[in-house]
Amino acid sequence: MDDQDLKIRVVTEDDGAMWATVEAMPGVFATGDTLEELHESLEEGIALYLAEGDGPTPRVRLGEFYGETRVTETRAGLALA
């Protein structure tokens, strides 16, 4: 898979917790109490989505994204390491 530009929807709850979905990858859902935790969780979710059957889970490197407002739609580059 080549590098991609992914559309990510980041939602920040009133208590500061965050969750995110990836438009092009139905079922990918990540949560985190910080943007860093959310980023790590999202990388893991994308890797599991991209895994084929019982094969190895690919290493995913997700570019920086932000979540500054209550609901943010942002983009991040995706590269398989």
CATH number of the domain enclosing 42 = 3.30.160
CB of 26 within 8 A of CB of 48?
A: no
State the pLDDT at residue 28: 94
3-state secondary structure of 58: coil
- For residue 19, give the DSSP letter: E
Sequence-separated (6 or more) residues with CB below 8 Å from residue 45: 22, 25, 28, 29, 30
CA gap 50, 52 in Å, rounded: 6
Q: Which amino acid is at 64?
A: E
> What is the C-alpha to C-alpha distance for residues 50 and 32, in angstroms, rounded to an integer?
21
- Which domain covers residue 48, as residue numbers? 4-80
User: What pLDDT tens digit does each residue of the chain (81 aa) get?
Assistant: 456 678 888 888 888 889 999 888 999 999 999 888 998 999 899 888 888 777 777 777 777 766 555 555 556 666 665
